[in-house]
Amino acid sequence: MSTTKESVRQFKMPDVGEGLTEAEILKWFVQPGDKVEDGQVVCEVETAKAAVELPIPFDGVVRELFFSEGTTVDVGQVIISVAVTGGAAVEEPPAQAAPAAPAPAAETAETESEPARREVLVGYGPRTGAAQRRARKTAPAAAAAPAPVAPVAAAPAPVAAPAPQAAPAVVAEGARPLAKPPVRKLAKDLGVDLRTVTPTGPNGTITREDVHALVAAPAASAPVQAAAAPAVPTVAAAAPLAADHGDVRVPIKGVRKATAAAMVSSAFTAPHVTEWVQVDVTRTMKLVRKLKESGELGAGVRVSPLLLVAKALLTAIHRHPEVNAAWDEASQEIVHKRRVNLGIAAATPRGLIVPNIKDAGSKTLTELAVSLTDLIATAREGKTSPADMQGGTVTITNVGVFGVDSGTPILNPGEAAILAFGQVREMPWVHKGRVVPRQVTTLALSFDHRMVDGELGSKVLADTAAVLEQPKKLISWG
């Protein structure tokens, strides 16, 4: 049957950050049949650095969504197809007889470069010649609904047996199953024989979800897996899964996965040193109240103790610029940064992120307040861009908002120092020869001892404390 003349354009997962290889689809804003315009946001994805909205680069009608929400997709994979007018008519073959246990079929998407095809899942045409491995990390979604778990439990495939009809492809007896190296490693870690896994990826490629589905299947429906790894626990695939005794497993991905890798790398690469100092910040807290009441920094600008801590640290760095540095392992050089890009650690529902204020050292107090307000608001909305988290040189983490006095912060990779700002609380303090209640906080500075020795680190911490104890130093030292 001949359909209306149209051509199908495909939109691939772009590299939305510098060197990123994958992203998770958080939310679709369109469905098949919806009209879209050039520049319209069609979905939101989460990379290892941030959540990003993706605009479609052409007009048309959505034909197919290739992946469901919660699916991790490699950069370069097609995620959506759009029918645009002006192309040649697309010939669709007659419907084939349904197999005994069919998988949910989706309308197939075809480009003008594909002259012929047969019915396969989610729009991937058959490949002629010998099968080749393709980097597929997750199973595609059906066009109108999220993709179901691979049909392993309903029709398990024993070793060297033909695959169920629901699978889009099958591994021939004696042939090596098609799977990416990470999927092979996952299967090996879980004790899964890839020959027992029903593939749902294009051209018979085994995906992570296929392996997870086999592990999660009941022992009665997956006897080969049970024999291979009887003691291996279930691993979560796309969402937290309840396990025995109320345990819940949460997949490590996105921002949390990147943060974990960065922290491990930093902790075991840079020799950390942490120093502490208690500071009487009574005068700083009075200044914060006055700035709030006067509104002199501008309407809608957030004034908080963190603003003054940031300005104090920037003042200390101005006096000791050697602390604003990075270690270049390749060239065996210490790189002294000309600009201070001040990172602010922010806890979000997706994990810890550290956006930074570019060239913060050159900003006035008002400009710093505006930048800090915008940074916090953007982070809370989950709209921080990858660019906002790149190029940081020094960081502040505000643990005081959680009622914590101090800690030993881990450096962000590539940075030489990080300051922890503890809670401000009333304490007995010797002031002008008398013990009186004063507002006190604890500052902790961690630094990379390859670049920052004890003297330099101590001077930076002491100067930061001095500004917070006597805010008028912002004038004399600024």
Task: List, by residue number, the catalytic residues.
Answer: 449
Spatial separation of the C-alpha atoms in residues 450 and 273, rounded to whole Å: 10
114 three-class SS: coil
* Structural tokens at position 152: 């392993």
Residue from 407, 190, 379 nearest 302 by CA:
379
Question: What is the C-alpha end-to-end distance of the chain, expressed in Å?
Answer: 77
Spatial separation of the C-alpha atoms in residues 249 and 255, rounded to whole Å: 17
- 304 contact partners, CB below 8 Å, separation of at least 6: 288
Chain CA centroid to CA 22, Å: 9
Element (H, E) at 290: helix 282-294
CA angle 457, 458, 459 (to 5 degrees): 90
Spatial separation of the C-alpha atoms in residues 345 and 138, rounded to whole Å: 31
* Structural tokens at position 376: 């916090």
* Structural tokens at position 244: 């025995």
H helices of 394-436, in order, are none
What number of other Cβ atoms are within 10 A of residue 35's Cβ?
11
H helices of 116-275, in order, are 181-190, 208-216, 223-228, 254-267
* Residue whose entry in the numeric block shows the structure tokens 């024993």: 158
Spatial separation of the C-alpha atoms in residues 139 and 160, rounded to whole Å: 22
Spatial separation of the C-alpha atoms in residues 443 and 404, rounded to whole Å: 11
- 393 contact partners, CB below 8 Å, separation of at least 6: 324, 325, 326, 337, 339, 340, 341, 342, 343, 356, 415, 416
Amino acid (one-letter) located at 77: Q
Whether the CB-CB separation of 443 and 259 falls below 8 Å is answered with no
DSSP label at 71? -
Output b/e per residue, 224-241; b: 16+ Cβ within 10 A.
Answer: bbbebeeeeebbbbbeeb
